[in-house]
Chains A and B, each alone.
Chain A
Amino acid sequence: MAKVLVVTSGKGGVGKTTTTAALGAALAQMGEKVVVVDFDVGLRNLDLIMGAERRVVFDLINVVQGVAKLSQALIRDKRLENLWLLPASQTRDKDALTDEGVKGIIDDLRTRFDWVLCDSPAGIERGATLAMRYADEAVIVTNPEVSSVRDSDRIIGMLDSKTVKAERGERVEKHVLITRYDPARAARGEMLSIDDILEILATPLLGIIPESQDVLRASNVGSPVTLNNAACAPARAYADAARRLMGETVAMMVPVERKGLMDRLLGRRAA
């Protein structure tokens, strides 16, 4: 049975698109058939992160409006044959999304894939509510700072009220993913601690992704960070998170500051 998972946060710029691409690629590498869907109509980024921006012909809005078929809009990833992308429109905006249109697409995608990852836009308006509406599970991406945590709390409240599952009396399974975690700043007490975040959000932790230059490098070359450099710290953390999504129990690794000898001598920050 296919799982529809929404990657959402409330706050903008915390790493939803990065996470959607990274988790999608990690799940596909494990053999699952995955489609990542960009719901950020008008400000689409998922196609850039996936490296497919030059192959977009039809998009989500075209399918919603019936102008194109779903198979015409789906773009296959060049590196992983069971990873697909459904891009958003750049010329329209979120008002072009309709409830019935989205329902039809999600139902169709459920029949073709094992995982449907929905990259939600920031905010709590139509784009975000439609992205979460048909979800079975949710990953709430949170930065370890106060405004992100409060917005995540708001989004968790909406997952429990504005989704079809919540309206039916069932629960959307929720996970918190902490991104851009900087161990040095956490040690100095400048960032919210993991325990504080979990105490405020009261939701199970899926993973902790460290702050890293590798994320920017990967998006610049148009590749999910788990594909670009599977050995880097964020990629390994995303891979662990994907395994937890699949039901495996993986020990949680809290990123620590690791400086090589040269870094220490020269006083450089860990990458």
Chain B
Amino acid sequence: MDAIAKAARQPIRMRGRSYVAFTFCPVVPIAGWLEEIDVTLGRSPGFFVGKPVVLDLSAVDLSQSAIAHLVTSLEQRNIRVLGIEGVDEARLTTNMPPLLTGGRNCMLAANEPKKVEAKPKPASLLLDSPVRSGQSIFCEGDVTVLGSVGSGAEIVAGGSIHVYGALRGRAMAGFSGNASARIFCQKIEAELLAIDGYYQTAEEIDPALRNRPAQAWLEGDIMKITPLN
């Protein structure tokens, strides 16, 4: 124990560094100002997460409890306040962010929220033989079948389904949320057609369409099936 106490005492180094922080300038009414914050957050959720934020209260005259309430309101919106300026020190308690002075205006580096990269187009599948009854074909992209799809078979595709033959089984296109996927076939005798979760069974398909080339697509949440020529 003595050995630890006698360990070489290292001086604590302190340096001054300056950082750039977003500064919020609330205006009265505070409730209205918070609503504006919410609108901004609605457009880019999480924009302020992890970013240092300073509250400039010079435009308002808030009591101690009002300041505490404001800081809490911002924390509820995942905005963490680093410091507060433009207010009398006496109004800040030790629980609140510290008082900052000497802030200078500067340019903010334009910090766009990361653009969602366009997902790479998933691979499509080409089958050059008929799909037999009982077979289940799964693909994240488009599926093209050079042949018929047998009764009792099913094709589940993230993209569109093209059948150069009779479609007698089930075809489920756009399963990953792709509402613009379509189903094409040379002869429609399908048991079930589904696009992005909206489905029609054989009973609901207009009998006038049977045995003709057809395509199925989604208009809103209604599946439309029309002849192809």
To the question of whether A and B form a pair in one complex, the answer is yes
Distance, CA A150 to CA B131, complexed state (A): 12
CB <8 Å contact, A157 and B134: yes
Tell me whether B135 is interfacial, beta carbon within 8 Å: yes
Tell me whether A105 is interfacial, beta carbon within 8 Å: no
CB <8 Å contact, B148 and A154: no
Chain A positions 43 through 73: 1 when the CB is less than 8 Å from some CB of chain B, otherwise 0: 0000000000000000000000000000000
Chain A positions 172 through 194: 1 when the CB is less than 8 Å from some CB of chain B, otherwise 0: 00000000000000000000000
Residues of A in contact (CB 8 Å), total 13
Q: In whole Å, how far is B203's beta carbon from the nearest beta carbon of chain A?
A: 17
* B residues in contact with A161, CB < 8 Å: 135
Chain B positions 191 through 226: 1 when the CB is less than 8 Å from some CB of chain A, otherwise 0: 000000000000000000000000000000000000
Contacts A157-B150, A200-B150, A202-B147 hold; do A150 and B133 have CB atoms under 8 A apart?
A: yes
CB <8 Å contact, B134 and A200: no
CB <8 Å contact, B132 and A160: yes
Q: In whole Å, how far is A43's beta carbon from the nearest beta carbon of chain B?
A: 23
* B residues in contact with A151, CB < 8 Å: 133
Q: In whole Å, how far is B219's beta carbon from the nearest beta carbon of chain A?
A: 32
Distance, CA A120 to CA B222, complexed state (A): 47
Name the prevailing secondary structure of the A interface residues.
Answer: helix
Tell me whether A156 is interfacial, beta carbon within 8 Å: yes
Q: Considering the complex, which residues of chain B in the window 116-169 have a beta carbon less than 8 Å from any beta carbon of chain A?
A: 129-135, 147-148, 150-153, 166, 168
Q: Which of A153, A156, A158, A199 contacts B152 (CB 8 A)?
A: A153
* B residues in contact with A200, CB < 8 Å: 148, 150-151, 166, 168
CB <8 Å contact, A154 and B134: yes
Q: In whole Å, how far is B153's beta carbon from the nearest beta carbon of chain A?
A: 8
Q: In whole Å, how far is A113's beta carbon from the nearest beta carbon of chain B?
A: 30
CB <8 Å contact, A154 and B152: yes
CB <8 Å contact, A153 and B151: yes
CB <8 Å contact, A157 and B148: no
* A residues in contact with B135, CB < 8 Å: 157, 161
Distance, CA A150 to CA B135, complexed state (A): 12
Chain A positions 10 through 25: 1 when the CB is less than 8 Å from some CB of chain B, otherwise 0: 0000000000000000
* A residues in contact with B151, CB < 8 Å: 150, 153, 200
Distance, CA A161 to CA B129, complexed state (A): 13
Contacts A200-B148, A200-B150, A202-B148 hold; do A154 and B133 have CB atoms under 8 A apart?
A: yes
Distance, CA A151 to CA B168, complexed state (A): 14
Distance, CA A156 to CA B131, complexed state (A): 10
Among A124, A157, A199, find the residue whose CB has the most chain B CB atoms closer than 10 A.
A157
Distance, CA A157 to CA B151, complexed state (A): 12
Distance, CA A202 to CA B150, complexed state (A): 10
* A residues in contact with B130, CB < 8 Å: 202
* A residues in contact with B147, CB < 8 Å: 202
Ranked 3 nearest A-B pairs via Cβ? A157-B132, A153-B133, A154-B133
Show 11 residue pairs from A and B whose CB-CB distance is below 8 angstroms, ordered by the A residue: A150-B152, A153-B150, A157-B133, A157-B135, A157-B153, A158-B132, A160-B129, A199-B148, A199-B166, A202-B130, A202-B148
**Besides the known contacts A154-B134, A200-B166, 19 further A-B residue pairs in the complex with CB atoms under 8 A apart:** A124-B134, A150-B150, A150-B151, A150-B152, A153-B134, A153-B150, A154-B152, A156-B132, A157-B131, A157-B133, A157-B134, A157-B150, A157-B153, A158-B134, A160-B132, A199-B166, A202-B130, A202-B147, A202-B148
